Structure 1
Amino acid sequence: MFHLRLALTMLSRDLRAGELTMLGVALLIAVASLTSVGFFADRVQGQLSRDATQLMGGDLLVSGDAPLPPEFEAEARRLGLRVANTTNFSSMVSTDDMAQLSAVKSVEAGYPLRGSLRIAQTMGEAGVEAGRIPEPGEAFVEERLLSALQRKVGETLQLGNSSFRIGGLITFESDRGTNFFSFIPRIMINAADLQATGLVQEGSRIRYRLTVAGERAPIAAFAAWLKPQIKAGQQLESIDNARPEIRGNLDRIQRFLQLAAMLSVVLAGVAIGLSARRYLQRHLNGCAAMRCFGATRSQLLGLFLGEFALFGLLMAAVGCALGYALQEGIAALAGGFFKTSLPAPGLLPVLHGLIVGVVLMVGFVAPQLLHMTRVPPVHVLRRDWGGLQGSVVGAWVAGALALLGLFLWVAGDIKLGAWSALGFAVACGVFALVARLVLGALASLRHRGTASWGLRYGLAAMHRRLGASMVQTVALGLGLMAMLLLGIVTGDLMSGWQKGLRDDAPNHFVLNLQSDQKTAFQQFFRERNLPAVELLPMVRGRLVELRGKAVRPDDYEQDRARNLADREFNLSYGSAMQEGNRIVAGRWHGEAKAPEFSMEEGVGKTLGVKLGDEVVFEIGGQRVKGRVTSIRKLDWDSMRVNFFFSAAPGLLEDKPTSWITSFRLPPGHSADLNALVAAFPNISVIDVGAVLAQVKDLSGKLIAVVQFVFGFALLAGAVVLFAALRATHDERMHEISVLRTLGARNRQLRSAMLWEFIVLGGLSALLASVGALATGYVLATRVFDIIYTPDWLALLGYLLAAVIAVVACGWLGVRSLLQRTVVDSLRATA
């Protein structure tokens, strides 16, 4: 109890003296950033676990891009399970005056098997349990569709060849999901009306789904029977992998947020290391005095460890409370992503926050304390104890190992965590190496008489404290780089993406046009003096063999590769290469009638397909074999129709074909669009502008979430900035005291310190700029696939602002030293 009371007394004294301010703020930011993300992720996981069956609409779901074998439903019924068939696709819904792209869903009696369907009769109502599905000739629609078409409940609308009476407004649909079809307004019809609409055509992209529900034992038996029956293009979902599009998106968001929070933890760790180092230097005298009065090393270690353990737990607890409050902000920013309210989070993130606090303390503070307690009593009389210098490497190595452990733990993936840690280590190593070389080169200027006294002395001081100067430069570079990534590079990436969208780019796509409609379709555009359209053939096929081996999704590690291997491709054929395509390898097949394919380079890299490889596609039950003889680079930002694979003439002409095109509809021609849908009710017209607006809205919410978390990194960068400049505060005070004793004037000392801060700020800002530009380039080329054009004027302004910030913060920290008397300065450093 005596040692506990003494540790509390020491903690209270250091808090009042401000000795632990920087360390506490850094720890608070690290814990708050991780726990806020942890609480949010816990709520999402709780939602998925709580409502897994409702998210699917049943206990088990099998889906496919072709009608499912009738044996699936027969076996489910034999086992006593309830079944419900649904289909999902997109199509145009129209009235006499306008049309709107919608997500069409046909359902049959018994839907939904789990969860609920709620409808209302007027806009703005919460809705009540429907207790039924739409009657034949009736449709349930979402409020957004009703508003877009300017219709009311009870009125009619057109879907394909059929007319439907609006029977209610969908307010809740448990198995809605968050894929593309959840972004556009929904219309729900009775499955008995589907064929009459004429929308089920060759090339129609329809997803067929069979949902089953029942007791656990027959569900397990049905799943065991079904798994060997699943073929390419079919997918089995259960409670364990409920709605993979939800889990996939949320897992990626969670991983992104975790890594974003890790940036703040890394910067906070750097700030804690700098603060702990300064604490060690300032308490050596007191520690030596306690040794003179008989304190043993173990007693001192116990006292200081007790003080920092109490302080760490206090800051971690406050950080957890702050993280709990902030996660409400994250959930609010991502509000549009969820259709139901999230459950309350658990307490596991609190444990994680406490662990982060302990790890950072142990990693960065404990090694410093171990060396501090080794100070001999003679240090009271002699201040040249060399044990302090030997502690530098060991302390930072321990901190680096602590951060490595946090990287691997938070990332949840050894490979991802290792690569992230490696990237951080490379940045630190490069920054340290460049700082060493530049500071060494600049040190030669201190011997030149042509340089001013302030510049020569400032460089000499930095060279004399070379180790500390390198640590300051690296720390400042990391902090400033985080700020630059937030402030400028992200804006440059968005600007580059927007520049890729041309003003004359097509804004509408047409799908599912049939061969016998081509002439009438083109005539429609000529009669209305609209730009001519280029109709391109589209054949749906699945890649089943590559280089003589079967293609299986499980053979790929990346999610994108697995998805591509499990889906049908939109293939095309012809002798002329499309506009915006460019051959980067091989030769274009031209008019040669040969079993050859031209491949887009991105899909080849993802699936491991190379020039000269033999590929086999399955189309309508038949296999088509060909060799990849050319690789194309596509201009995806052009918004024109593009294909992953294009075949030579004669290879696919006899296969089921629909036609696709894109065109630009000038403003004020909405009547022409409505007339087009009325003339060709089976086609799907996608308003790309509207779709992009919907995706942009969701993306904006997610970007806001990420920026919210990156705000912690911004705060941590500011703490690093201040802690790095305060790291050598006491050494500067001692140097100033000695120089003033020897007759140096304040004007000379002011000039020396300003030059030191200018060099430090300029070098750190330059390193940060290079690091941020390199990161921006990698993101642009590897992630966003855009041409990255930095805003050099903004970057120059940032460099100037960063130097001014470093100089200003540094000057504010040392300005008071010049106002002290020589006697006070000497006493303070005694």
Structure 2
Amino acid sequence: MELLKDMALAARLAKRELRGGFSGMRVFLACLALGVAAVCGVLSLAAGLRAGLAADAAVLLGGDVEVTASSLPLEAAPRRILERSGRVSRTLSMRAMVTAANDAGGPARRRGLVSLRAVDGSYPLLGRVELAPDMPLSEALAVRDGIPGAAAAPELLSRLSLTVGDRVRLGGGVYEIRAVLVREPDRMVSFWGFGPRFLVSMDGLAATGLVRPGSLIRYAYRVALAPGVTHKALSGELEAAFPGHGWRVREAAGASPGLAGFFERLTAIMGLVGLSALLLGGLGVAGAVRGHLAARAMSLAAMRCVGASSRVLFLTCLAQILVLAGLGIGLGLGIGAAAPFVVSPLLGEVSPVRVVASVSFGALAVAAAFGLLTTLFFSLPPLSAAGRASPLALFRGYAEPFPGRPGRAVLAVAGVCGLCIAALSVAVTGDRRLGLGFVAVAILSALILRLVGAGLRRGLALIPAPGNPILALAVSGLRRPGNASAGVVASLGLGLTVLSGMALVDANFTDLTRRELPRTAPAYFFIDIQPAQLAAFEETVRAVPGVTAVHTAPNLRGRIVTVRGMDAEQANLDPDMAWVARGDRGMTFSRVPPENSVLVAGSWWPEDYAGPPQASMDAEAAAGYGIGLGDVVTLNVLGRRFDVTVTSLRRINWLSLGINYVMVLSPGALDGLPMTYLATAHIGGGTGGEGRDRDAAGETLFRAVSEKFPNVTAVDVGETLSDITAIAEKISLAVTASALATLAAGILVLAQTLGGALAGRSREAVILKVCGATRADILGMLAAEQAMAGAAAGAAALALGAGLSALFVSGYLKVPWSFHPVPALLTIAVAAVLTVTLSLAGILRLLGGKSWPYLRNE
């Protein structure tokens, strides 16, 4: 009953206090709003992407059910089952080379890699292919005057300087480009394909000569199910009629697990950025609360004098903070909820999945909970000091900092809030390791920075005072009892840690895609080399001046069916390794270990091995599936099922872009199966003149192979890396947009932290001014003091940011990490200069005013 009376009194007092406006609490509102908006925006966009993927699943798949096969099409019997189940459309996908020729059919002018798709007359079952000029697809692909038509992506026309009406050579056939391919309804099929899209009819493909045994071809049969027919019934009938088949059957609900996984990972990364912004916002909340209490110290002392209890003062201040938090959270929710409506038009040409622009109440609830919990966690400890306001402040004319530590009850409630924040962080990222890692890193960084701040104060206490009076005052200000150096270093350092870590992650990602990969990658990949062509192909490539190395390997497609007797798609322990069993994988055999890999367990078979099938597996993939030496894995290659025993594990350097496989089989394991060969060619050269020689050698190699082997597809690794870089840049735009909120929150928080610390020095600054110190002297003293604290915070932040970025890049992105000092130091320096400038601006305004309001005792 007494508590209710105190709460009612506190509510009335808080209402009266709030009538004075929000002076001094604007940073509180801004920090909280930015943090909540970042989290809400990420969750809302993720919800919109999931809704779009679910709503358009059948269109994205191309039907209700899809049956895919590699290298060989389905036979007549399974096709009849599909046709009884509904309307069927057949497509074929592969990579190929197109050659632009003049109207007279003269020598080739330009060549390029394309993602080729051949479709039948029923395509598409769902949706519509958009062409420019607008026309039916059948008209664009029809045969006219003996020449079949094609639709090409605008990128191909731009790269080869083509226009609608031009003719190109594809393998042994000639096609006329009738339209520009604007959009396919099932574009997700080619979303990850390298090379511009090129669409032709299935009937006209035979003349090209590209469809050969062992070629890397993907056949897809889409079915629009008839009423009463279900995916489960169709899958069961196929399995019963053709047990152990090598096809993959999937329904619209699982249209694109790879695409869904990509968006989940992107959401997790953006979620980390949002959580970082919220964490920095929390630091701003704590600083703003301390500043608010310092500003209201005399008012609190007066209330103590007229009989207000400690509990009433605490509840009064808490009520004020909660009202302000409600405003900040509401503002952040409004900004975050608007994110899908703003971003969805921008993603229209980038993402194969539309963002369903709607208000996600789940995202609003989670973001609001984050905002409230963050407010309580960061404000309760400083608020608990409100009840300890001393009435003596009225007689002294100024208030000393509130003494003492928070009580056990306050710490217990704050601890519960912290645990809830940790649980929500794991839920938001969707990745337990990533979420728990974020929480652990935040706690560890805060502790380390606290120790650094305490160490700075103790270290300065051991050195003699400098001879320069300004420096002496700065040192004494940092090492005197009760100074805020530890808190300043902790808050400033945590903000700089986030910013430097983000800068290093971005620098590593940029270095990987723009410098490291091009430096180590081969110049060309060649695919679909027929066994009878292999010797002539190697002779042709080696004869080109500048070619330094050629590597070849047999290749065919197969699926991992079972692992240790369990279905492979259900057996993986690590979700990051699910791609290994999803769809068909390239497989090969070899007598010796492949290059760019290191044997880490087991032993390789002898070169003359002729026993039961054995396999060497990627160590990371094996660990993800819990596979050890001696375990048995079942493969399905072109309908043939057989067991292989894992006898060795390899660590593979995938970034070399050389020929390598998750699974390499022993000689004889694939005998009797149609296969083709892959090849890579390395060309010497570097920058400047050598770079031009390399380009010339590459063009010579390209022409030699494409003219002599029209069925062989040459993949220019440079162009491929450009495509990867373009995709990476588009992805980074989303992360950068979220990072801007973190940067804004970070600047506000750091300025608030330093400004709060400097505000406590205002009386001291006025006294120095009255005693004859100039503005330059006072600002120099404060700047030197903050520079020393900032240097300690910056050094600690640089080390912590480097460690955190290394963990994220190596552990989560699984790519090599290197230290890039320039972007990290530049980020820290810019942030530090901005925050010190903003915080010193308040002192400069104070020194420009009258001194008597700070000195009179009335």
Report the TM-score, using the length of structure 1 for normalisation. 0.85
Match of 1:510 among 512, 526, 538: 526
1:115 corresponds in structure 2 to 127
CA distance in 2 between counterparts of 1:264 and 1:227 reads: 52
Query: Which amino acid is 1:491 matched to?
Result: A
The structure 1 residue matched to 2:50, chosen from 23, 42, 45, is: 45
CA contact (8 A) 1:484 1:769 kept: yes
Q: Aligned pair 1:222/2:233, yes or no?
A: yes
Q: Does residue 1:640 correspond to 2:640, yes or no?
A: no
Give the superposition deviation at 1:711: 0.9
Q: Partner of 2:296: helix, strand, or coil?
A: helix
Match of residue 554, structure 1, among 570, 580, 600: 570
Shift of 1:424: 1.4
Q: Distance in 2 between matches of 1:36 and 1:218?
A: 40
Cα displacement (A) at 1:786 = 4.8
1:101 and 2:113 are equivalent in the alignment: yes
Give the equivalent residue in structure 2 for 1:31: 36
Structure 2 vs 1, CA of residues 582 and 415 (structure 1 numbering), >3 Å: closer, same or farther? Answer: closer
1:226-241 correspondence to structure 2 within 5 Å: 234-241=247-254
Matches within 5 A, 1:145-544: 145-153=156-164, 156-177=167-188, 179-182=190-193, 184-214=195-225, 217-219=228-230, 222=233, 225=236, 234-293=247-306, 304=317, 307-323=320-336, 330-331=343-344, 334-338=347-351, 342-346=355-359, 348=361, 349-350=363-364, 353-365=367-379, 368-369=382-383, 372=386, 380=394, 389-390=405-406, 397=415, 400-401=418-419, 403-412=421-430, 416-445=434-463, 448=464, 458-464=474-480, 468-488=484-504, 490-495=506-511, 497-501=513-517, 505-525=521-541, 531=547, 533-544=550-561
Is the contact made by 1:553 and 1:565 (CA closer than 8 Å) also made in structure 2?
yes
Question: CA separation in 2, counterparts of 1:735 and 1:422?
Answer: 39
Aligned to 2:579: 563
Deviations 1:639-672 (A, max 9, x none): 3323334445555565543211112574346476
Superposition RMSD in Å: 4.1
**Judging changes above 3 Å, is the alpha-carbon distance between structure 1 residues 114 and 497 closer, same or farther for their aligned structure 2 residues?**
closer
Aligned-residue offset at 1:156: 4.2
Give how far 1:56 is off.
2.0
1:766 counterpart = 2:785 = no
Kindly provide the CA deviation profile for residues 648-705 of structure 1, in whole angstroms up to 9, marking residues without a partner as x: 5555565543211112574346476356334323322222222222222121111122
Q: Tell me the alpha carbon deviations over residues 128-155 of structure 1, each in whole angstroms, 9 at most, x when there is no partner.
A: 4547784477343224334445555555
Q: Determine if the alignment matches structure 1 residue 21 to structure 2 residue 53.
A: no
SS in 2 for 1:728: helix
Deviations 1:99-155 (A, max 9, x none): 3222222323322222112333xxxx4x24547784477343224334445555555
- 2:285 & 2:798 partners in 1: Cα distance? 24
Aligned residue in 2 for 1:676: 705
Q: How far apart are residue 258 of structure 1 and its match? A: 1.8
DSSP-derived class of the 1:389 partner: coil
Say whether the 8 Å CA contact 1:269–1:399 is kept in structure 2: no
Higher mean alpha-carbon deviation, 615-624 vs 27-36, is at 615-624
Provide structure 2 residue ranges, at least 5 long, that are not aligned to the other structure.
1-7, 102-107, 684-693
CA distance in 1, matches of 2:559, 2:265: 27
Q: Residue type of the partner of 2:752?
A: A
Residue of structure 1 in register with 2:675 after alignment:
657
TM-score, normalised relative to structure 2? 0.83
CA distance in 1, matches of 2:420, 2:649: 50
Pick from 143, 148, 151: which aligns with 1:138? Answer: 148
Q: Which moved further from structure 2: 777-786 or 253-262? A: 777-786
Write the distance in 2 (CA, Å) between the matches of 1:671 and 1:685. Answer: 12
* 3-state SS of 1:83 partner: strand
Paired with 1:566 and 1:786, the residues of 2 have a C-alpha distance of: 22
Partner of 1:667: 695
What CA distance in whole angstroms lies between the structure 2 residues aligned with 1:505 and 1:408? 37
- In the TM superposition, what whole-angstrom CA distance separates every residue of 1:738-786 from its partner, at most 9, and x where no partner exists? 7889999989866654443122111100111001111232244334555
Taking structure 1 as reference, are residues 26 and 559 closer, same or farther at Cα in structure 2, changes over 3 Å only? same
Deviation at 1:228, TM superposition (A): 6.1
Distance 1:216 1:346, change over 3 A: farther
In structure 1, what residue type is equivalent to 2:853?
D
Do residues 623 (structure 1) and 642 (structure 2) align? yes
In 1: Cα distance, 2:617 partner to 2:723 partner: 30
Contact 1:119 1:128 in 2 (8 A): yes
**Partners of 1:759 and 1:790 in 2: CA distance:** 25
Match of 2:743 in 1: 714
Q: Tell me the residue number matched to 2:732.
A: 703
- Aligned residues of 1:502 and 1:638 also touching (Cα < 8 A): no
Partner Cα separation in structure 1 for residue 668 and residue 252 of structure 2: 46
Q: CA deviation at 1:263?
A: 0.8
Structure 1 residues 798, 715: CA separation in 2 closer, same or farther (over 3 Å shift)? closer
CA distance in 1, matches of 2:768, 2:32: 37
Q: Any gaps of 5 or more consecutive residues in structure 1?
A: none
Write out per-residue CA displacement over residues 220-273 of structure 1, whole angstroms, 9 at most, x where no aligned residue: 563573696696864444343333333222222222212211110111011111
Taking the aligned partners of 2:19 and 2:82, their CA distance within structure 1 comes to 69
Task: Give 1:365 deviation, angstroms.
Answer: 3.6
Write the distance in 2 (CA, Å) between the matches of 1:404 and 1:526. 59
Equivalent residue number for residue 18 of structure 2: 11
Separation (CA, whole Å) in 1 of partners of 2:424 and 2:83: 50
Percent sequence identity over aligned pairs: 23
Indicate if the aligned counterparts of 1:133 and 1:190 stay in contact, CA closer than 8 A.
Answer: no
Structure 2 contact 597–651 (Cα < 8 Å) conserved:
yes
Relative distance call for 1:451 and 1:202 in structure 2 (3 A) is farther
Correspondence for 2:90 among 76, 85, 93 = 85
**What secondary structure is seen at the aligned counterpart in 2 of 1:500?**
helix
CA deviation vs aligned residue, 1:33-72 (integer Å, no higher than 9, x gap): 2333344334433433433322222223333436457565
